[in-house]
Amino acid sequence: MGEEDFLLDGEPFRIISGALHYFRVHPELWADRIRKARLMGLNTIETYVAWNAHAPARGVFDTEGGLDLGRFLDLVAAEGMHAIVRPGPYICAEWTNGGLPAWLFADPAVGVRSSEERYLGAIAEYLEQLAPILVPRQIDRGGPIILVQIENEYGAYGSDRRYLERLVALNRAVGLSVPFTTVDQPTPEMLEAGSLPGLHKTASFGSRSLERLATLRAHQPSGPLMCAEFWDGWFDHWGAHHHTTDAAATAHDLDELLAAGASVNIYMFHGGTNFGFTNGANDKGVYQPLVTSYDYDAPLDEAGDPTEKYWALREVIAKHAPVPEERPVAGGAAPAFEVSLELGVPLLEVAEELGEFAPFEAPPTMDELGRFDGFALYRTEVEWAGPAVLHVAEVRDRAQVLLDGDPVGVFARTHRTHALALPRDGRGTLDLLVEDQGRVNYGPRIGEPKGIVGEVRLGEEPLRRWRAAGLDVDRLDAVRPRLRAGAIAGPSYHAGSFELEEPVDLHLGTEGWGKGVVWVNGFNLGRYWSAGPQRSLYVPAPVLRRGENELVVLELTAAPCGVVRFLAAPELGHTDF
């Protein structure tokens, strides 16, 4: 690095980067999104690495398909662009558990984001698994990687300097030789707590560029100034409004930043989608799970089409750096049509095929069941006389209560009380269907277990002799043989099919639905919920095929979907409660 610039081959080089998370985009669309980044004037792609996506269990490191980070970086290089890699291990990113594997915290003594030895030992294994992908793709070996970030906004969490020192040593030990950076919000306290001498400090902000750069310069006296997260939008959580930011205002702030000579990473250039159960959650006193869409109001929308913000930022970048004359072409409108869901089966009817039930004297957590996302089912026999109230100590995050298969109520993490009145006099099978709605990705509750936490009481008596299992609801092979025609009540799978002449991007409307999950051709599109604001699910064209396509919905409320609609454009609503 020079006194005021990054240096590339000894010459000043300004980084104009955009964030694009490979794990949020279908791999067959990576090249398209990267190319559109270059056409906007970007010269670099930044990505986090989601440790928990690659390592669903200790000793496993998956790099296939959508997790082929090496292929993603090679596509960046093929487009003539550079890469910034942020391997964490903590990434936040509105991604479940901030990227940290849930299995890591099976031992409650493991320290989160600290110099605790068991935690550092697991990180060492992770970096050793990551090294064969990253090390040969560094710029000094002919690859695209020019920077690697250490941790992520650590100054907002802690101040364990030994932890940062050990992270630096572990990253160097596996062969990473490019410059290391840190990023923090531009306050004196965070910039000092989140970095070390020898690490290049960068900042994260989305407005008041000159003021924030001045604060950064006070704590990074020499070397290039960089906003490593220039926030051009924001994320959504269920039950709130859809966030947007003004394109002209964002362009103005970017213009000020570039005119000051700073480098930038636009967060996000293209957000993508929290497919499956990968969305995170915030908890700053109130638990707020994130929606499936990670559109982020970014320059390139969730379906990969340029927005007004794309053109506004492209025009700004052209004032400060070369921009290709070629312009990206937006995709056409998606076809609109309806699909009948004529087949169904109750979830409880196939539960034994979706998980291995085991006996427990008291309810275990989902983590103790070995289930780190999705759903778990807790079952026991109950009998009572007279008025009765069912109590749950704590639920993370939502539990549907069923008695002999009939819904009788819901416990939710956000409810003020965890008590439910039952009908007078009764007996039968009590089921608690618990959903992990997304692990906390920011704040002190990272790493907490999910499921039923503590005892369940009927009146004053704790309920014992449970059978419980984590449910692999993605196991559609176990569901398909049990599907049948006719009305199905309660939490249920529903299925139908539709024909396409050619695979194209689709938008599946969810307006009027309750809560649940959708699969197309076995691919988990993610969650939907009437709480809003998201009213449709993005279906990437590579998930589809010419001819017949399968649609499966797991609807958790009593009302089946019936006829569903594919829309010509995504739908968003506005809900506040």
Q: List active site positions.
A: 153, 229
452 Cβ neighbours under 8 A, 6+ residues apart: 363, 364, 365, 378, 392, 393, 394, 395, 399, 432, 434
Place of tokens 């990437």: 540
Place of tokens 């794309």: 310
Structural contact between residues 290 and 109, judged by C-beta atoms closer than 8 angstroms: no
Going by their DSSP bridges, the two strands 406-412 and 451-452 should be labelled as unpaired
Q: In Å, how far from its chain's centre is CA 560?
A: 27
Using only C-alpha atoms, the chain has a radius of gyration, in whole angstroms, of 25
Structure tokens at 556: 């958790």
Residue 237: DSSP 8-state: B
Tell me the sheet residues that pair with 201: 182
**What strands lie across the sheet with 492-500, from one edge to the other?**
484-485, 343-346, 492-500, 547-555, 515-520, 523-529
d(CA 351, CA 553): 16
SS3 333: coil
DSSP alpha helices (H): ranges in 43-96? 51-54, 69-78
CA count, 13 A, side-chain hemisphere, 254: 34
d(CA 77, CA 142): 10
CA distances from 456 to 147, 364, 411, 424 (A): 50, 11, 12, 19
287 Cβ neighbours under 8 A, 6+ residues apart: 281, 397, 413, 414, 440
